[in-house]
Structure 1
Amino acid sequence: MIPGRSAIAPKGILSRLRSVMAADATAETRLQLVTNIVATDMVAEVCSIYIMRAGEVLELFATKGLKLDAVHLTRLRVGEGVVGAIAASGRPMNLSEAKDHPSYVYRPETGEEDYHSMMGVPLLRMGRVLGVLVIQNKTQRHYTEEEVETLQTVAMIIGELVGSGELINKEETLPTDGIAMLPLRLEGSALNAGIGMGAAILHEARVVITRFVAEDPETELERLRNALSEMHGALDDMLQSSESLDDEHRDILETYRMFAEDAGWLGRIREAIKTGLTAEAAVQKVHDDTEARMAQVQDPYLRERVNDLQDLANRLLQHLVGVEKLSPEDIPEHAVLVAKNMGPAELLDYDRTRLRALVLEEGSATSHVAIIARALDIPVVGQVKSALSRIEAGDPIVVDGNNGQIFIRPGEDVLSAFKNSVKARIRQRAAYAALRDKPAVTKDGVVVSLNVNAGLLVDLEHLKEVGADGVGLYRTEIPFMARSDIPGVEAQVSLYQKIMDEAGGKPVVFRTLDAGGDKVLPYWDNHGEENPAMGWRAIRVTLDRPYLLRQQLRGLIRACGGRELNVMFPMVAEVAEFVQARRLLDMEIERESIKGHRLPSRVNVGVMLEVPSLMFQLDSLLEKIDFLSVGSNDLFQFLYAVDRGNPRISGRYDTLSPPMLNALKAVVDKCNKAGVTLSLCGEMGGRPLDAMVLVGLGFRKLSMSASSIGPVKMMIRSLTLSELENFLHTQAGKSRHSLRPVLRQFAKDRDIAL
């Protein structure tokens, strides 16, 4: 701070900004007045405002101190210059010598060569950077934290006014590419399968703030208290009305409800009010600050929790300014919801009987809203860039949740094709449903056991619907990921008992905690591994933290008292790891016996074969286990050293290639010789052609998603296994890249249902 300068009073600068907002002047004049006020109050020789234009270009819109001829002439790309660096990071920058910064660029038309110190903050609105607010001084000074905070408060208000068109003309705002009436196709990530068609509803939970500067902070604090009380009551009502959701999904809403009472979040809002902001402006400022900080965090779970906070901020704003919710009659009968992102409670605000699909600009498979959408069987496509700027309310949309595509204003040919696809899918489902109670048996009498993969209680409902023989893989990590802390033993016992009850006596194979890699738990550090798929994950985590595994095994043993327990250890790379895990299981069985708890009637212990190194110890392993399950996804990935998430190479190799099939055949032969039950759980088992080959290799138990049971069962019932075995024998030793084409032709020639 300049010597002799008193502390900046945010209330003073805010009150002068309020007078500018009330002035009867053009947008350009208002913007210029803002720079004058900020420069004067911040004791800066320069104050400049840059606005984001099309193509991620920052244009100088107003300045006090630089040459006025530079206005609308000086432009910087995002990432170019200090101003561009601020826009790229979304964070403030405080420099005593701007020229020393590596991003510094000199623009002679501005006349800024005389200035040394510089502070800039982004203009944020709805998590987007709309521009940059900058002050400069000739002296080399380091601006204080208080000055940075004050400039951020001013920037928040300017960002709101710029976004609403108060400070710049509407025609000067960012053009929206792709509006008009032309058809448009956008790509994203498939977060929940299915096809949905309907009219677009734009989820604009954003509340327009019209009052920024408070007249009486105590009055604003009282308004905040009242709004919080109303919001908490509304959230409690929502929890009571969501009794149809199972415990895991209610846990998500309970965790969300706890966010609403976070002391740190509420404390920052109260402090912002004390600086002179209204309650609603304080709520928005605190959220913008949080979102800007979290933009730098890579952890997907933590990033998704920001969406929950955005949801809460919007709800609190609605209670503060009295915004009414969208009424049911305003929602078309067939609606597609489009949002940047949303919290789980926001999705439940809509009439779920009318929602046909959900489109998100952000979102991930682990986001709470995606988990709830899956429970409601709503197709979801996420990571759709610029969806809100390219879609208008009422636009007809087709959402292809199977392939991660959305079609906006589709032509009649596209619409007709999807309608036919939906009709064909309905007919197929009817045909699959007719097979529900029939066995998966080949024409020559070979029975194959078809099981489902599950990870939530809601998945167990499909067990009866599709006529599966049991649960071949229950992913126990998903309930762990849905909670904000580690579930205790009793919570796990309750969950596993419900799973066994829902299975109705059919076998369930519980895979122990397979966290790490792309499955991040919120309550431990991921350490930012460069190659997480091959890093600290699955059994490596639970052997390093045995209390996690012991608690889980204890919960499984108690839950299966009097019933058969099937437990499987994932990502085992050597027999020694299995021996160590089995020792922990035996310790827990002995512990439960001493305590007098009822033990399972039988305990079957197995291993997932995912790491190729274990194939070279199979003989030793098979002596110690009751069953083996091939995890085809990871085994294929590691066998070929191919990152399945890398689009440049993910399709380069094929599961029906000779190396993969030779490896699987070797496993079949060893298990048959040792008398050990063998199964496969992975995407390979759920694709009819791949499943056909697996049966031909000798697999008699497959586990897959519930939706794949029908197609695979239909394939098996149309197959003569002896013909396939003979054909595969003729292909042994072939050096083709893949056997897929010849196998598809084999199936076509024999009318095998694929």
Structure 2
Amino acid sequence: MRETAVGPRVLLKRLRELMQEPLEPQDRLDRIVRDIASNMVAEVCSLYVLRADSVLELYATEGLNKNAVHLAQLRLGQGLVGTIAASARPLNLSNAQEHPAFAYLPETGEEIYHAFLGVPVLRAGRTLGVLVVQNRTKRVYREDEVEALETTAMVIAEMVATGDLARLSRPGMELDLSRPVSFTGVSFNEGVGLGHVVLHEPRIVVTNLFNEDSEEEIRRLEESLGSLRLSIDDMLERRDVAFEGEHREVLEAYRMFANDRGWVRRLEEAIRNGLTAEAAVEKVQSDMRARMIHMTDPYLRERMSDFDDLANRLLRQLMGRGPEDVAASLPKDAIIVARSMGAAELLDYPRDKMRGLVLEEGAATSHVVIVARAMGIPVAGQVKGAVSMSENGDAIIVDGDEGAIHLRPQQDLEAAYAEKVRFRARRQELYRELRKKPSVTRDGVQVDLLMNAGLAVDLPQLVESGAAGIGLFRTELQFMVAATFPRAEAQEKLYRDVLEAARGKPVTFRTIDIGGDKVLPYFKNATQEENPALGWRAIRLTLDRPGLLRTQIRALLKAAGGRELKLMLPMVTELGEIAQAREIIEREVRHLSRFAHHLPTSLKVGAMLEVPSLLFQLDELMKAVDFVSVGSNDLFQFVMAVDRGNTQLADRFDPVSIPFLRVLKQIADAGHRNDTPVTLCGELAGKPISAMALIGVGFRSISMSPAAIGPVKAMLTELPLEELEAFFADNLNQPATGMPIRALLQAFADDRGIPL
């Protein structure tokens, strides 16, 4: 075994010397292929590099015709070299010309060679080229020779990645690493951002590739693996993950990989071939990703992200590092690219430097997206492959309107998007001019445009947007971004800051709405729920855990001393829940009165209408509360039996449809009939055309994201409400099988010059 390891180790030592010599890129490549051929007793060694146009170009050779360098080329998938690049797998053939994929390039003069070994040049699972050795005799290369060539290919991958070879490319024939790539995902928040990539969990760059002492490197590997296994065991034994199915599955997968002898053996082999422990992890990780990325089984492909995370943890152990603080060195136009991330992690980045967010996973209702929306950041989600194809510092465009991203965009595309950004900026200027104008229709009817909020970062937008107040303050966001339950003092401070920032404008606080998709990492439901959206959440949870609600109510009452306090109860299903909540609220009022605390001047209690059962007790509901807020996101989900996080159904049913608008009209009519104020909060309020529909069916108060207020107000001031009401009188009771009402509304707006 020691004798077969001499070749690779000698070769790596020679490569290290070559990398340190002050050579021109072509000279360095020529020397590398010559040394590889000599070391492996091969008559030919050739390097093909993948260009941006998916062509593999011969960049260096020892043994083939030198005049073919930079002229000989193969398309991706063409010939043996193209097959290796497309599959990211090595080929070891005793007689290459008998292989069905063999393609003869007469300019190279390779027809006299039979034995063929080719390996992909990989970095982070991406194929950057192909490295080949050939011999005249028919032979199969040994396993240690394959390993040696793969290890050498890793070193060459770093040369390609660092840009050393870019100087050798001709105009229009740039390397694949700089190739423009576009991805289409799902729009999670509108807007356009131009900037540069900041990987949320940046790929650890291994700079020390060659080892001096294999046994010492294996000792370091074993020590780090031991620490890694212990940390995983600790996480599995902690109570907060013991009953959490999905988290536990991920950790079990980590433990399986960390104890996999095959993985450890491959790491040790790479070290014995001359790599450091860090470089061995990088090489094995890249090989594994290249193999798994072509698998069609979605479960196995998902496990790849577990493997990536584990390998990065091991690299950090080896390099003695914690997660990098990328926020400290953020560029001024950062686009954060992540597989997934928590809301608190997004808030670690300075808002003034962020231009957009790209997620490989997530949903429009996930916590991080809600926070990004509140911060006014364009978000594209479910953009598969974005992380592996990105490098820190790459130019990138995020099109939040279409859910698309453009990596390393060409100049004309970048110019087009820059103009789009300028156009949006000019339009925002027009919206800013509308801030102080009254929020009335063309025929003089007042409609209150309120904003949704949930964090301190939202508060400056109350003034900037010209909102009439905060129609929905999501108190749970403070809980979601904290590591433990926020103390009563912290809650009170936030609520007081909100009321002071509102400067007398109305604020509606929704009591804590956790459960379902809003999971607090420090608060676990011991029972695994099959349908969490329909489960133990919101008012159901807080009535069962009244201590949570009492603490929050007390903080709200103290913060609102001398002001009006509006409290809204989420996910109400029956009127008895309102009565129970009122008892808790009145108990806290009596407690604070007993100790002479400054109480609110008025206290109004409302309910969020998002459960369809309330539709059958509307008049009773209107009499039981001081106001009603319609949660259109959940109400639509429950009325139409649509999981709003399911991308296959995301665009299948339209909330601006006759059935759902009839439901909303019933609610608005019940509010007018009982003289109970009704506000609608949700995505529907934030688009001009759907806001127009809401106003048409009777809503006079709607709440939306701050960025949506300008476009909705521009529509509102041009809206002839009397004509719109006549339109709905004619169309809302028609059969729902005719032309979609959205199309009829669009035509109505176009005919009257209403901006949508």
Instruction: Give SS of 1:671's match.
Output: helix
- How far did residue 183 of structure 1 move? 5.0
Aligned partner of 1:79 in structure 2 is none
Q: What is the one-letter code of the residue matched to 1:404?
A: G
Bigger drift between 614-623 and 453-462 goes to: 614-623
TM-score after normalising by structure 1: 0.63
State how far apart, in whole Å, the 1-side matches of 2:279 and 2:599 are: 56
TM-superposed deviation, 1:320: 6.4
Q: 1:565 corresponds to which letter in structure 2?
A: L
Identify the residue that residue 497 of structure 1 maps to in structure 2: 496
Is residue 461 from structure 1 mapped to residue 463 from structure 2 by the alignment? no
Alignment of 1:479-518 (within 5 A): 479-518=478-517
> How many corresponding residue pairs?
591
Task: Say whether the 8 Å CA contact 1:607–1:625 is kept in structure 2.
Answer: yes
**2:614 corresponds to which residue?**
614
- Gaps in structure 2 of 5+ consecutive residues: 16-34, 41-82, 100-121, 127-146, 162-173, 225-258, 290-298
The match for 1:697 is: 697
Rounded Cα–Cα distance in structure 1 between residues aligned with 2:313 and 2:372:
19
Which aligned pairs between 1:721-736 and structure 2 lie closer than 5 A? 721-736=721-736
Q: What is the CA–CA distance in structure 2 between the aligned matches of 1:579 and 1:485, rounded to whole Å?
A: 30
> Which residue is 1:549 aligned to?
549
Tell me if 1:196 matches 2:193.
Answer: yes
2:133 aligned residue = none
1:467/1:376 Cα in 2 relative to 1: closer, same or farther (>3 Å)? closer
Instruction: Kindly report which structure 2 residues correspond to 1:31-110, keeping only aligned pairs within 5 A, or say none.
Output: none
Shift of 1:206: 0.5
1:628 maps onto 2:628 in alignment? yes
Q: How does 1:244-259 map to 2 (within 5 A)?
A: none
| Pairwise CA distance, 1:482 | 0.8
| Equivalent residues in 2 for 1:676-715, closer than 5 Å | 676-715=676-715
Q: Is the alpha carbon distance of 1:164 and 1:630 closer, same or farther for their aligned partners in structure 2, counting shifts above 3 Å? A: same
Structure 2 letter corresponding to 1:665: K
Residue identity opposite 1:625 in structure 2: V
Q: Displacement, 1:474?
A: 0.5
| 1:743 Cα offset (Å) | 1.7
Q: For 2:312 and 2:590, locate their aligned partners in 1 and report how far apart those are by CA, in whole Å.
A: 48
Letter in 2 for 1:407: H
**Aligned residue identity for 2:183:** L
The match for 1:744 among 746, 752, 755 is 746
User: How many angstroms does 1:479 deviate by?
Assistant: 1.3
- Cα deviation for residue 512 of structure 1 reads 1.1
Partner AA of 1:514 in structure 2: D
| Partner AA of 2:753 in structure 1 | D
Deviation at 1:619, TM superposition (A): 2.0
Q: Which moved more, 1:381-390 or 1:477-486?
A: 381-390
Matched-pair contact (CA < 8 Å) for 1:686–1:712: yes
Report the 3-state secondary structure (helix = DSSP H, G, I; strand = E; otherwise coil) of the residue aligned with 1:593: helix
> Any conservation in 2 of the 1:214–1:220 contact (CA below 8 Å)?
no
Worse overlay, 688-697 or 561-570: 688-697
Q: Which segment is superposed worse, 584-593 or 630-639?
A: 584-593
Distance 2:364 2:6 in 1: 45
The residue type paired with residue 734 of structure 2 is K
CA distance in 2, matches of 1:580, 1:724: 41
CA distance in 1, matches of 2:671, 2:343: 45
- Given residue 503 of structure 1, which amino acid in structure 2 is its aligned partner? A
Q: Describe the superposition over 1:661-690 as per-residue Cα deviations: whole angstroms up to 9, x where unpaired.
A: 222222122211211111111111121122
Shift in Å at residue 627 of structure 1?
A: 0.1
Structure 2 CA distance for partners of 1:608 and 1:181, relative to 1, 3 Å: same
Provide the C-alpha distance between the structure 2 equivalents of 1:170 and 1:639, rounded to a whole number of angstroms: 55
Secondary structure of 1:472 counterpart: strand
| C-alpha separation in 1, matches of 2:309 and 2:373 | 18
* Residues 280 and 580 of structure 1, relative CA distance in 2, 3 Å threshold: farther
Secondary structure of 1:623's counterpart equals helix
Cα distance between partner residues in 2 of 1:618 and 1:192: 33
Question: What residue in structure 2 maps to residue 432 of structure 1?
Answer: 431
Distance 1:304 1:478 in 2: 28
Q: What is the rounded CA distance, in whole Å, between the counterparts of 2:317 and 2:10 in structure 1?
A: 27
Shift of 1:580: 1.9
Equivalence for 1:718: 718
- Helix, strand or coil for the counterpart of 2:440? coil
Equivalent residues in 2 for 1:438-477 (5 A)?
Answer: 438-477=437-476
2:396 corresponds to which residue?
397
Q: Which residue of 2 aligns with 1:562?
A: 562
1:417: Cα distance to partner? 4.0
Deviation at 1:496, TM superposition (A): 1.3
- The answer on whether the counterparts of 2:451 and 2:472 sit within 8 Å (CA) in structure 1 is yes
- Distance in structure 2 (CA, Å) of the matches to 1:516 and 1:127: 38
Where 2:530 maps in the other structure, the secondary structure is: coil
Residue 425 of structure 1 aligns to a residue whose secondary structure is helix
Q: Report the AA paired with residue 449 of structure 1.
A: D
* Cα gap change, 1:622 to 1:215, in 2 (>3 Å): same
Q: How far apart, CA to CA, are the structure 2 residues paired with 1:307 and 1:504?
A: 49
Going from structure 1 to structure 2, the CA distance change for 1:351 and 1:548 (only over 3 Å counts) comes to closer
Residues 105-254 of structure 1 aligned to structure 2 (within 5 Å): 164-165=154-155, 179=176, 183-190=180-187, 192-198=189-195, 204-208=202-206, 210=209
Tell me the equivalent position of 2:243: none
Q: Counterpart in 2 of 1:599?
A: 599
1:578 corresponds in structure 2 to 578
Deviation track 1:315-341 (CA, whole Å, cap 9, x = no partner) reads 7877769x999997x96x766565667
CA contact (8 A) 1:338 1:360 kept: yes
The amino acid of 1:630's aligned partner reads: V
Q: CA deviation at 1:534?
A: 2.0
The one-letter amino acid of 1:660's match is F
Amino acid at match of 2:659: P
SS in 2 for 1:562: coil
Q: Please give the secondary structure, in 1, of the residue aligned with 2:176.
A: coil
The offset of 1:598, in angstroms, is 2.2
Could you tell me how far 1:590 is from its partner in structure 2?
Answer: 2.1
CA distance in 1, matches of 2:523, 2:547: 14
Seq. identity, %? 45
Q: Displacement, 1:371?
A: 8.1
Distance 1:386 1:697, change over 3 A: closer
Q: What is the CA distance between 1:704 and its match in structure 2? A: 0.5
Deviation at residue 462 of structure 1 after TM alignment: 0.6
For residues 245-290 of structure 1, give each alpha carbon's deviation from its aligned partner in whole angstroms, at most 9, with x where no partner exists: xxxxxxxxxxxxxxxxxxxxxxx9xxx9xxx9999869989xx9xx
Rounded to whole Å, the distance in 2 between the matches of 1:415 and 1:362 is: 25
SS for the counterpart of 2:509 is strand
Counterpart contact for 1:542–1:548, Cα < 8 Å: yes
| Whole-Å separation in 2 of the counterparts to 1:310 and 1:493 | 43
Inter-CA distance 685–604: structure 2 relative to 1 (3 Å threshold): same
> For residues 388 and 593 of structure 1, what CA distance do their matches in structure 2 show?
56
Asked if the contact 2:448–2:702 (Cα under 8 Å) also holds between the matched residues in 1, the reply is yes
Indicate the SS of the match to 1:428: helix
State the distance in 2 between where 1:400 and 1:573 align. 39
Deviation at 1:553, TM superposition (A): 1.5
Alpha-carbon distance between aligned partners in 2 of 1:125 and 1:181, rounded to the nearest angstrom:
14
Q: Which amino acid in 2 is paired with 1:743?
A: L
* TM-score, structure 2 normalization: 0.63
In structure 2, the partner of 1:117 is: none
Q: What secondary structure, in the 3-state scheme, does the structure 2 residue paired with 1:566 have? A: strand
- Write the distance in 1 (CA, Å) between the matches of 2:655 and 2:414: 34
Q: Distance in 2 between matches of 1:615 and 1:324?
A: 50
Q: Distance in 2 between matches of 1:371 and 1:306?
A: 29
Which moved further from structure 2: 367-376 or 573-582?
A: 367-376
CA positional deviation for 1:405 = 0.6
Deviation at 1:472, TM superposition (A): 0.2
